[in-house]
Amino acid sequence: MVCLSVAVAGQVPATQESIAAGQQLYLRNCASCHGRTGQGGPGNDLIPAAPGLTGDKWDHGSTDQAIFDNIKNGIAPDFNMVPFKDKLKDDEIRSVVAFIRSLEKKK
C-alpha cells in the first residue's frame, strides 16, 4: 500500500520550525492586509477588504498549491493581492502556507 500526500510541489512537512518561520514572514508581509491572526482586513478607499484566511470559504482556491500560487503570483486581474515572487523565495512561501494552515487548527 502506498500513501500519498497532497501538498505544494516541494512542500516540506509542517513542523513547529516551518510554522514559526512562516509566522514571522506572514507578520512582515501579510498581516497588514489579512490581519495578525488571519481574520481579514477592512480595506480602504483604494483597495477592497482582504479576505480572512481561517474560514471555509476561499475565493481563489483553498488547496496548498492554490494558496502558494496566489502568494507567489498575486491575484489577477486587479492585483489587489500583489505578487510576492520577487520578495519571497519558494521555501519561504511554503512556510507561509504552513502558518496559514496552522491558523485553521486554532479556530
Helices and strands: H and E segment counts in the chain: 4, 0
* 3-state secondary structure string across 85-97: CCCCCHHHHHHHH
> Please, what are the domains in the chain?
16-45+60-105 (1.10.760.10)
pLDDT tens by residue, 58-93: 889 999 999 999 999 999 888 889 999 999 999 999
Please state, in angstroms and rounded to a whole number, the distance separating the CA atoms of residues 92 and 94.
5
pLDDT tens by residue, 12-63: 678 999 999 999 999 999 999 999 999 999 888 888 899 999 988 888 999 9
Quickly state the pLDDT bin for 11 (edges 50, 70, 90).
Answer: low
DSSP 105: H
